[in-house]
């Protein structure tokens, strides 16, 4: 669904586009290819959603995934798992849901932490997600009037992939990755590409 072969990715999710379902869909894809996942999330989403998307997997597959809820302590949790991160291989994934708070400006300590993460670990795939916000300038900058969090530092460290809800189309989102645009539909089992 998301091309992870071109370096670290920042998924900037618009309102109602459900970044946790997108993350779970990506995790499912990685686990089904026999790779490992470390999933860090500010708050663990609804258990039913996790069960719907990952519940059909065998225990042997789920054992390749580590879930860490970090709340407001992302830097501490990352420090605690540095040893685990160094064991990840090329096709394994570290995914961080809501790497920054979804209101106000991203804190410089969080921005610098994401930059350091990319600089320190380039041997595996890294995806971070955050909610985009509307451009308050009235100039309609960014992607369809939405801006991503983290500014130039995040932009230079991560490739931004936009995920936005398609107006008047029930459960459909647009995934925009540079020149490439894909449409996916929310199903009980996560997002599925429909084009």
pLDDT of 104:
73
pLDDT of 63:
97
The CA distance from 101 to 26, in Å, is 21
The CA distance from 99 to 95, in Å, is 9
Angle at 46 between CA 52 and CA 4, to 5 degrees: 65
Walk along the chain (195 residues) in steps of 10 and give the mean pLDDT of each run: 92 87 95 97 92 95 97 94 94 97 87 96 94 69 75 94 87 92 90 87
Contacts of 6 by beta carbon, 8 Å cutoff, 6+ apart: 159
pLDDT of 136:
60
For the chain, which domains are there?
9-193 (3.40.50.300)
Percentage helix, strand, coil for the chain under 3-state DSSP, each rounded to 5: 30, 30, 40
The CA distance from 154 to 7, in Å, is 13
The CA distance from 187 to 64, in Å, is 24
């Amino acid at each position: 669904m998301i091309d992870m072969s071109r370096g670290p990715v920042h998924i900037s999710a618009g309102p109602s586009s459900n970044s946790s379902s997108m993350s779970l869909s990506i995790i499912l894809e990685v686990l089904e290819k026999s790779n490992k996942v470390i999933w860090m999330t500010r708050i663990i989403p609804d258990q039913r959603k996790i069960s719907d998307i990952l519940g059909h997997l065998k225990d042997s597959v789920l054992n390749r995934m580590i879930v860490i809820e970090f709340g407001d302590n992302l830097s501490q949790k990352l420090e605690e798992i540095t040893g685990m991160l160094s064991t990840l291989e090329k096709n394994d994934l570290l995914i961080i849901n809501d790497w920054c708070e979804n209101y106000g400006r991203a804190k410089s300590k969080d921005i610098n932490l994401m930059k350091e993460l990319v600089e320190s670990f380039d041997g595996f795939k890294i995806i971070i997600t955050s909610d985009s916000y509307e451009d308050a300038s009235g100039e309609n900058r960014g992607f369809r009037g939405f801006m991503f969090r983290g500014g130039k530092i995040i932009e230079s460290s991560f490739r931004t992939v936009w995920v936005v809800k398609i107006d008047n189309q029930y459960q459909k989102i647009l995934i925009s990755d540079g020149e490439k645009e894909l449409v996916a539909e929310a199903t009980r089992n996560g997002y599925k590409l429909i084009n």
